[in-house]
Structure 1
Amino acid sequence: SQATSSCLLGACYPPSGDLVLGRTQQLSASSTCGLTGSEVYCTPYQQRRMKCCPCDSRNPEGQLAHTIQDVLSTAGPDRWWQSQKVSPVTIQLDLKNLFQLDSLVLDFKGPRPQALVIERTLDNGRTWQPYVYMATHCPSAFPGVPTSTPLKMDDIYCYTLPPVGYDLYKDHQLQIHFRPLEQYMYVPVPKDQKIEGLTGLRVKLVQLGEVPEIPGRSLSRFFALKEMRVVGRCMCHGHANKCLPDTYTTFSNNIQCDCQHNTAGLNCERCADLYNDLPWRAAEEGNPHVCKRKPL
């Protein structure tokens, strides 16, 4: 883990956690089944049969509800979010403050989408930049987007999703892991320069998954997600090893860096008053870039 406890020798980082927890009000989906009344969805069952189940999300706590809050890791094994029979659908997490993303885990309930885009914002949702494109067949899903691993920090690329196999509804094959630092593995800059901030994350589900053909039966096509984990930490530019809870939020909304190295600001993004002898810099491994006091 990057959670280096000592800040004396160089860059240090707060421990990471699941940023979705404690932020259910900031998590939204552009489509959810059953919000205005019961809807029926049909999926395969045993050999060449199908079963049809209702979705009714008018009461979010109900057994038949499949709201976006059901993707929290604390929601339990039998809960999931489900869209209506539409595409594309967007899931959005607004963080409001600057964080760094360690990993995103999407645990789909079959079938897995054939194409999606993971995007981030730095200005609380006014503009969005793609982090990565993902598809079972990149050239047809995202024409013109390169499929080679990035060699520069501003390269975008499409990651080819591994085949799901024969059973499109087999749960263990439907997880997608995204780690920003891994995709920049071949970019020749130090690790601390590869850490990018975000104030929000968006998953755009662009293409519905394939459904099997069953003669005389019509299976429903929708997106469904069992769990979403957004693992990250507050962005402190290597100048803090813990975050302080803001007074207006629950404890899990750790949003202020406990700044070291004579730095200051919500994200340790400047030198503290009277410590402006050198220009501010982000800390690096092996060099904390401590802000120096101006000689009197």
Structure 2
Amino acid sequence: MRCPAMLTLQAVCVCVSVCVAMQQYPAAWGHYDVCKSQIYTEEGLTWDYMACQPEATVMTKYLTVSLDPPNITCGDPPETYCTLENPYMCNNECDASTDELAHPSELMFDFEGRNPTTFWQSSSWKKYPKPLEVNITLSWNKTIELTDDIVITFESGRPEQMLLEKSLDYGKTWIPYQFYATDCLDAFTMDPKTVNELTQRTLLDIICTEDYSRGYVWKYDKTVRFEIKDRFALFAGLQLYNMASLYGQLDTTRNLRDFFTVTDLRIRLLKPATGSTMVDENNLSRYFYAISDIKVQGRCKCNLHSNSCVFDKDKGKLGCECEHNTTGPDCGRCKRHYHGRPWSVGSYLPIPKGTANICIHSSHGPVHRANASSLGVANRNQAHVCDNAMLLCQNGGTCHHHHKRCHCATGFTGILCERERCQGPGPCEEYPTSGQPCLHHPLLFHYLYPLLLGPPGLLLTLLLPLVVIRVC
């Protein structure tokens, strides 16, 4: 971004672009953590509504876990285990009746960093050749959106065959997320593939990978991953610098958004690590599953109508604290008496504030408005891009011509007055080189006014370390 050598107070009042935070912390940009703010318009102080969503957090704090078969956890009766590397080293005991020797399922989600390590452990493969199979189901009783890699850390050798599944209907139906095997073709009749071989077109493909199924030779590689961030990077870039592109894709492609959305996850352990092609039937205590940690990062799905999700201890479930006159566990319907137009999910577009799509009071009558994500299509002049209830015109713009267009304030342009108009001689960059637009706070002048009345150098002294100032 070019900045003029001469800075004046007039330039500060006309356009102060707070871009430094975006450029230094691009991954944090576009969190949509504010649902509404007060702005000054021609009619006075009013609300400006924005799309919003909760911050991402560790979701394992809120889940319930179930095992199938339910008696698969070791310790009842007590059992002694041998190491995979040395079948004669058998000094690991599991006893469910003794706290120090028990390995219940909740130890998959406890605080990591203890010494000795805590972990869940299955019974051994004592019924070989019958398969040793375990289903571990993680349930939230709430729709969540994944925001980071799912990471499963094994205390034992990583499984030679495993499947990760997801449900979108609270466990009624399941679909595969990813297959894992030492030999994908033999185990699942699938060619092996890595996430790095995926493209934007094949992002939703279900793959089988051999990267996380190696035996005890790689005993220090204990994790199995489902790579969320690598898939995000197909749209946002390797360092996730262009989150605007990712949000735009999520907004316009429902299948893509659903791909990262779950109500339940199921880890299907199908074959334990054996360390060889043959199973030692004389020492089956070597073969079992043990998991020390499972990480799931995400946020409550609130349909972009809430920036807060709380856990109700009495009900034992998460729930969105809905804004925009919406209600329901996922803010999935309008409140009573707010059916002036059909409920609609919020929109990430236009960047950076999105479109709230608030529910309108029934007394206002039916309102018909094209979704903001469709404003780029032909015949856009027929769309109602703004209305008095939605207050969609940005940067001081006002609705005109029966809500069909925004009349922009001086210095701004675009369908919703969302970007600056280039003024003056010479080249003008409307956006920074990262591809992310600058923020123009609607109350900036209101905040700066008291400073303008103080000593002439005070304002610039306070602002220069924090912002980049330019004439628009």
Q: Which bracket does the TM-score occupy, shorter chain normalised?
A: 0.7 to 0.9
Q: 326, 338, 355: which is aligned to 1:287?
A: 355
Instruction: Tell me what 1:177 maps to.
Output: 225
Q: 195, 198, 201: which is aligned to 1:149?
A: 198
SS of residue in 1 equivalent to 2:329: coil
SS of residue in 2 equivalent to 1:117: strand
Instruction: Tell me what 2:32 maps to.
Output: 4
Q: Which has the higher contact order (CA 8 A, sep 6+)?
A: 1
Q: Structure 1 residue 208: deviation in Å?
A: 1.7
- Distance change (3 Å), C-alpha of 1:155 and 1:280: farther
Q: Structure 1 residue 232: deviation in Å?
A: 2.3
Q: Structure 1 residue 13: deviation in Å?
A: 1.8
Contact 2:156–2:288, Cα closer than 8 Å, also in 1: no
Q: Structure 1 residue 280: deviation in Å?
A: 2.4
Report 1:193-204 matches (<5 A).
193=254, 194-196=256-258, 197-204=261-268
Give the Cα separation in 1 of the matches to 2:209 and 2:138.
22
SS of residue in 1 equivalent to 2:100: coil
Q: Is 1:209 aligned with 2:273?
A: yes
Q: Structure 1 residue 224: deviation in Å?
A: 1.1
Q: Is 1:91 aligned with 2:150?
A: no
Give the counterpart letter for 2:330 in structure 1: N
Instruction: Tell me what 1:52 maps to.
Output: 90
Contact 1:20–1:27, Cα closer than 8 Å, also in 2: no
Instruction: Tell me what 2:9 maps to.
Output: none
Give the counterpart letter for 1:91 in structure 2: I
Contact 1:149–1:157, Cα closer than 8 Å, also in 2: no
Give the counterpart letter for 1:207 in structure 2: K
Contact 1:11–1:283, Cα closer than 8 Å, also in 2: yes
Report 1:53-132 matches (<5 A).
53-59=91-97, 62-74=99-111, 76-77=114-115, 78-86=117-125, 87-102=132-147, 103-132=149-178
Give the counterpart letter for 1:74 in structure 2: F
Q: Is 1:191 aligned with 2:247?
A: no
Give the number of aligned pairs.
Answer: 286
Q: Structure 1 residue 17: deviation in Å?
A: 2.7
- Distance change (3 Å), C-alpha of 1:149 and 1:115: farther
Give the Cα separation in 1 of the matches to 2:136 and 2:92.
22
Give the counterpart letter for 1:287 in structure 2: T
Give the Cα separation in 1 of the matches to 2:120 and 2:272.
15
Give the Cα separation in 2 of the matches to 1:138 and 1:281.
42
Q: Structure 1 residue 72: deviation in Å?
A: 1.4
Q: Structure 2: 5+ residue runs without aligned partners?
A: 1-27, 37-48, 126-131, 236-245, 349-353, 366-472
Instruction: Tell me what 2:15 maps to.
Output: none
SS of residue in 2 equivalent to 1:195: helix
Q: Structure 1 residue 271: deviation in Å?
A: 2.3
Q: Which has the higher helix share?
A: 2
Give the Cα separation in 2 of the matches to 1:268 and 1:36.
45
Contact 1:57–1:67, Cα closer than 8 Å, also in 2: no
Contact 1:181–1:195, Cα closer than 8 Å, also in 2: no
SS of residue in 1 equivalent to 2:186: helix
Q: 272, 275, 279: which is aligned to 2:338?
A: 275
Contact 1:3–1:16, Cα closer than 8 Å, also in 2: no
Q: Is 1:223 aligned with 2:289?
A: yes
Give the Cα separation in 2 of the matches to 1:277 and 1:203.
44
Q: Structure 1 residue 74: deviation in Å?
A: 2.0
Contact 2:272–2:288, Cα closer than 8 Å, also in 1: yes
1:175-220: per-residue Cα shift (whole Å, max 9, x none)?
123244644765897124433332221100122223269x9x8471
Q: Taking structure 2 as the reference length, what is the TM-score of the superposition?
A: 0.53
Q: Is 1:161 aligned with 2:211?
A: yes
Give the Cα separation in 2 of the matches to 1:289 and 1:182.
31
Q: 316, 322, 329: which is aligned to 1:259?
A: 322
Q: Structure 1 residue 244: deviation in Å?
A: 3.0
- Distance change (3 Å), C-alpha of 1:97 and 1:227: same
Q: 63, 67, 81: which is aligned to 1:41?
A: 81
Give the Cα separation in 1 of the matches to 2:211 and 2:180.
6
Give the Cα separation in 2 of the matches to 1:36 and 1:16.
38
Give the Cα separation in 1 of the matches to 2:213 and 2:78.
33
Give the counterpart letter for 1:174 in structure 2: K
Q: Structure 1 residue 42: deviation in Å?
A: 0.7
Sequence identity percentage: 26
Give the Cα separation in 2 of the matches to 1:204 and 1:166.
20
